[in-house]
A and B are shown apart, each in its own frame.
Chain A
Amino acid sequence: GNSVTQMEGPVTLSEEAFLTINCTYTATGYPSLFWYVQYPGEGLQLLLKATKADDKGSNKGFEATYRKETTSFHLEKGSVQVSDSAVYFCALTGGATNKLIFGTGTLLAVQP
């Protein structure tokens, strides 16, 4: 079945450092791929998405490219801020039910 694997955290960075959070997936067909972010004490918010191969999703300085050949959707940001500290979830949907399949989440802690 469909599944998502993302790097374990926590990831601890200094402000202005470069961020990469790896995400790979297993899926039949052509899923859509998502990154959601969860700030402390809050629900999940969509950060970015890509619906077909080679699409690049971007938002708030974050970006991720849908790579079908490597089944990956790695999240990157050139210069992180303390306010980016959160848990990041990679997810996919596909098929008739649009059910989201989530990775386990990666905690990012950015230090000033």
Chain B
Amino acid sequence: NAGVTQTPKFQVLKTGQSMTLQCAQDMNHNSMYWYRQDPGMGLRLIYYSASEGTTDKGEVPNGYNVSRLNKREFSLRLESAAPSQTSVYFCASSARTGGKDTQYFGPGTRLTVL
């Protein structure tokens, strides 16, 4: 089992460019999450998907869109990147929401917007 995988590992964009961060899990989990990690602020939830076909906003959704492509995959899109979106992005999954299940994290994508 690979667990949670993310691509790419590193990316540099210019302001205004778009890109999609990919995430996949092979644990047959229902729920998936996108977080961003910034110095001194811990991790903050951007969007989550409780189950295939559903998505909901988290704490900091502005400037992002998501797609739950199927049960395995959950992508995060930046339509017009801004320097404020420079961050490390983590995808996570859990068996379900509504319970107290452990979330498992991917290795992260380090994004720099110039």
A residues bordering B, Cβ < 8 Å? 4, 32, 34, 36, 42-46, 49, 51, 89, 93-94, 96-100, 102-105
Residue-wise interface mask of B (5-47) relative to A, using a CB-CB cutoff of 8 A (1 in contact, 0 not): 0000000000000000000000000010101000011111100
Which residues in A have their C-beta under 8 angstroms from that of B74? Answer: none
Residues A89 and B90 in contact, CB atoms below 8 Å apart:
no
- Residue in A34, A43, A46, A105 whose CB lies within 8 Å of B42: A105
Residues of chain A contacted by B98 (CB below 8 angstroms): 96-98
Contact B97 A96 (CB under 8 A): yes
Of B35, B56, B90, B104, which one neighbours A97 at CB under 8 angstroms?
B56
Task: Count B interface residues, CB 8 Å.
Answer: 30
> Which of the candidate stretches B63-71, B75-83, B105-113 sits at the interface with the other chain?
B105-113
Q: Are A98 and B40 touching (Cβ within 8 A)?
A: no
* Complex A-B, nearest 5 residue pairs according to Cβ-Cβ distance, in ascending order: A102-B42, A32-B100, A98-B97, A43-B105, A44-B105
Closest residue of chain B to A32, judged by CB? B100
Contact status of A89 and B100, CB under 8 A, knowing A43-B106, A98-B31? no
**Does the CB pair A43–B97 fall under 8 Å?**
no
Cross-chain contact B100 with A104 (CB below 8 angstroms): no
Chain B residues within an 8 Å CB radius of A100: 33, 35, 43, 45, 92, 103
Pick the contact of B50 from A49, A97, A103 — CB < 8 Å? A97
Q: How far is the CA of A100 from the CA of B45 in the complex (A)?
A: 8
Inter-chain contact B41/A104, CB cutoff 8 Å: yes
The reply to whether A89 and B102 contact each other, CB–CB distance below 8 Å, is no
Q: Are B106 and A99 in contact (CB-based, < 8 A)?
A: no
B101 and A42 contact, CB distance less than 8 A: no
Chain B contacts for A4, CB-based, 8 A:
42
A51 to B108, CA, bound (A): 27
**In the complex, A94 Cα to B100 Cα: how many Å?**
7
